[in-house]
Amino acid sequence: MAKKIIKRSWAEPFKIKVVEPISMTTKEYREKTAKQAGYNTFLLKSQDIYIDLLTDSGTNAMSDYQWAGMMLGDEAYAGSKNFYYLWDNVKKYYGYPYFVPTHQGRAAEHLVSKILIKPGDYIPGNMYFTTTRLHQEIAGGTFVDVIIDEAHDPQSLHPFKGNVDISKLDKLVKEVGAKKIPYISVAGPVNMAGGQPISMANIVELKSYAKKNGIKMWLDATRLVENAYFIKQREKGYENKTIAQILKEICSHFEGIWVSAKKDLLVNIGGFIATKNKNVYEEARNLVVVYEGLHTYGGLAGRDMEAMARGIEEMVNYDYIRSRIGQVEYFGNKLLEYKIPIVQPIGGHAIFLDAKRFLPHLKQIEFPAQTLANEIYIDSGVRAMERGIVSAGRNQKTGDHNYPKLELVRLTLPRRVYTQAHIDVTYESIASVYDKRKSIKGLKMIYEPKYLRFFQARFEKLK
Ligand code: F0G
């Protein structure tokens, strides 16, 4: 009797038209390059990488539709037609009337923080993100984490680990007063928690609390399409809504958003602010001219804005986002089968290895996640990123390291770039590092930059 075929539920809704060769290197060579890079994967040269899972930021493959749009770039200094098309699509898909382009996400964060925060303010948020918190601090604010406790536990299976704990928020409001809180800084999904989503129910509850206390809500909508997908999968009442409908519904609860377009929008560069608040818009339109470029290009070329506008149309396609997150799930499930400790539930943009459980013999000050990212690179040429004590930086007041509960290695999947075979090879490499984990020694930091130290810090191997 013929065997019954088990049908796979999905495949990528696109095929490959252009290919980019990648480097194959030896282990001896990588031992040298890792050392030269001060055991920091950010300092490796891209030509020395086999499979690059450092980030999903700006590493997307654009479609033929987007590339065709690049030829339609209107590079006028003022009033480019690509700007107006992009603005129309921001209105149509995110639902905000006002829009200011920036060259990338942190530029948008810079302007929003500068406009909304006064020195001495407090900004509660569902876990910090590196650049977001830094801009809030530079503007004179103090970030306060109000995410639910489950988010700090890599083994908790809570379906919405990005949720805000309103009692933590309320405690802060009672302590410092609502006047000192210019806005609640919400991210959906939460990058540092493992790409974990926030639920619509939590957003609605948060909004009613914020309204009662006269506090604004702003959203980091960088990967909001992924959050919308999880809401459709996991939240009652959203099964039959489209990704576009959910995206717009989330945004309707916030006064405004900032976005790094280098993620959801399927482009290599770009960012923006969108809001319903005319005053904030006017201020952002003024400031963008100082820091980025005219308000009709914000540091971008016309062709970049065209690619963004077209990317917005593609990002809400259900088959696309299902295959994107499906690839992350495929990867995570393989690791789980081998009993490799990862953050669960599997998130939207990346797999996060739990370095504390992977290398339990290392102390946090021996940089377990940094160490593990290096071991994987040396084993196979796969590049990952530390998301632990190095990324968490130092306490602004005491100058001591922040010791985050989560000590993670992020393997981030660029959109539409790698095949399932790349994922299999990566999985095999991590499994072989796992097999020899007991022999792995930690690192010592020998150079530390002042800001966002994880990008440029250097390390030495402990003997
Ligand atoms: N917000 C979130 C949630 C992000 O993940 C990023 C960037 C930014 C803002 C800043 O945007 O890079 O365009 O200036 N995340 C990248 C990453 C760097 O690898 O996670 P940007």
Q: Tell me, what CATH number does 111's domain have?
A: 3.40.640.10
Nearest ligand 1 atom, CA 106: 14
- The Cα–Cα gap between 259 and 273 comes to 6
Q: Is 94 helix (H, G, I), strand (E, B) or coil?
A: helix
Shared domain for 194 and 249, answered yes or no, is yes
Beta strands in 73-223 (DSSP E): 98-102, 122-125, 142-145, 183-187, 216-220
Residue with tokens 């603005």: 87
Which atom of ligand 1 has the smallest separation from the CA of 55? Answer: 19
Contact 384, 410 (CB under 8 A): yes
User: Is 132 one of the annotated active-site residues of the chain?
Assistant: no
Q: Which of 191, 266, 269 to mutate to test the pocket of ligand 1 (most atoms within 8 A of CB)?
A: 191
CATH number at residue 425: 3.90.1150.10
**Position 271 in a domain:** yes
Q: Are residues 414 and 368 in the same domain?
A: yes
Atom 16 of ligand 1 has which residue's CA nearest to it?
A: 57
| Side chain identity at residue 374, one-letter code | N
Query: In this predicted structure, what is the pLDDT of residue 9?
Result: 72
The reply to whether 12 falls in a domain is no
Instruction: Name the residue at shortest CA distance from atom 13 of ligand 1.
Output: 105
User: In the listed set 315, 337, 371, which residue is the last one of a domain according to the structure?
Assistant: 315
In sequence order, what are the beta bridge partners of 445?
459
Same domain, 286 and 342: no
Mutate to test the pocket of ligand 1, among 131, 135, 386, 409 (most ligand atoms within 8 A of CB): 131
Q: Is residue 16 part of a domain?
A: no
What is the mean pLDDT for each group of 10 consecutive residues in the chain (463 residues)?
A: 69 96 96 98 97 98 98 98 98 98 98 98 96 96 98 95 98 98 98 96 98 98 98 97 98 98 98 98 98 97 98 98 96 98 97 98 97 98 97 91 95 98 98 98 96 95 94
Find the radius of gyration of the CA atoms of the chain: 22
Split into its structural domains, the chain has a count of 2
Are 322 and 302 found together in one domain?
Answer: no
Does 205 fall in a domain? yes
Same-domain status, 214 and 349? no
Atom of ligand 1 nearest to the CA of 261: 13
Q: Which atom of ligand 1 is nearest to the CA of 260?
A: 13
Looking at residue 397, its pLDDT comes to: 87
Three-state SS at 404:
coil
Asked about 106 being catalytic, the answer comes back as: no
Domain that holds residue 337: 27-56+318-461
Same domain, 295 and 326: no
Residue type, 386: E
Rounded CA gap, 413 and 106, in Å? 21
| Distance between CA atoms of residues 412 and 194, nearest Å | 10
**182: Cβ contacts below 8 Å, ≥ 6 apart:** 116, 117, 118, 121, 123, 141, 216
Q: Phi/psi of residue 271, each to 5°?
A: -165, 175
The residue annotated as part of the active site, out of 27, 45, 65, 77, is 77
- The separation between the first and the last C-alpha atoms of the chain, rounded to the nearest angstrom, is 60
Whether 19 is covered by a domain: the verdict is: no
91 is catalytic: no
165 tagged catalytic: no
Q: Compute φ and ψ for 103, nearest 5 degrees.
A: -75, -30
8 A C-beta contact, residue 439 and residue 361: no
Q: Active site includes 130?
A: yes
- Chain CA centroid to CA 174, Å: 31
Letter string b/e over residues 72-92, b meaning 16 or more CB atoms within 10 A of that residue's CB? ebbeeeeebebbebbbebbee
Q: Are 121 and 311 in contact (CB under 8 A)?
A: no
Q: How far apart are CA 173 and CA 180, in angstroms?
A: 8
Contact 148, 165 (CB under 8 A): yes
**How many A from CA of 196 to the centre of ligand 1?**
15
Residue 200 lies in a domain: yes
Number of H helices, E strands in the chain: 16, 14
Q: In the structure, which protein residues have their CB atom closer than 6 angstroms to any atom of ligand 1?
A: 55, 57, 104-106, 129, 131-132, 187, 191, 220, 222, 260, 262, 271
Residue 358 bears catalytic tag: no
Distance, in Å, from the CA atom of 399 to the CA atom of 401, rounded to the nearest integer, reads 7
Beta-bridge partner residues of 219: 186, 257
Our answer to whether residue 454 is catalytic in this structure is: yes
Please report where in the chains the tokens 């890792």 appear, as a residue: 34
Question: Is 181 inside a domain boundary?
Answer: yes
Give me 236's structure tokens: 């009652």
Cα distances (Å, whole numbers) of residue 60 to 4, 123, 170, 384: 37, 31, 39, 16
Contact 362, 32 (CB under 8 A): no
Same domain as 333, residue 221: no
Instruction: Tell me phi and psi for residue 88, to 5 degrees.
Output: -55, -40
Together in a domain, 325 and 441: yes
Within-domain flag for 453: yes
Residue nearest to atom 12 of ligand 1 (CA): 105
Q: Where are the beta strands (DSSP E) in 86-244?
A: 98-102, 122-125, 142-145, 183-187, 216-220
Last residue of a domain, which of 254, 282, 315?
A: 315
Cα–ligand 1 centroid distance for 84 (angstroms): 25
Residue ending a domain, choose from 262, 285, 315: 315
Report d(CA 384, CA 39) in Å as an integer.
12
> 266 and 125: one domain?
yes
Looking at the whole model, is its pTM more than 0.85? Answer: yes
236 and 255 assigned to the same domain: yes
pLDDT tens digits, 316-364: 999 999 999 999 999 999 999 999 999 999 999 999 999 999 999 999 9
Q: Characterize 124-137 residue by residue with b for buried, 16 or more Cβ atoms within 10 angstroms of its Cβ, and e for exposed.
A: bbbbbbbbbbbbbb
In this structure, are 80 and 126 located in the same domain?
Answer: yes
One domain, residues 43 and 124: no
Q: How many CB atoms lie within 10 A of CB 259?
A: 27
Query: What SS3 state is found at 372?
Result: helix
Give the Cα-Cα-Cα angle 53, 318, 225 (nearest 5 degrees). Answer: 55
pLDDT for res 91 = 98
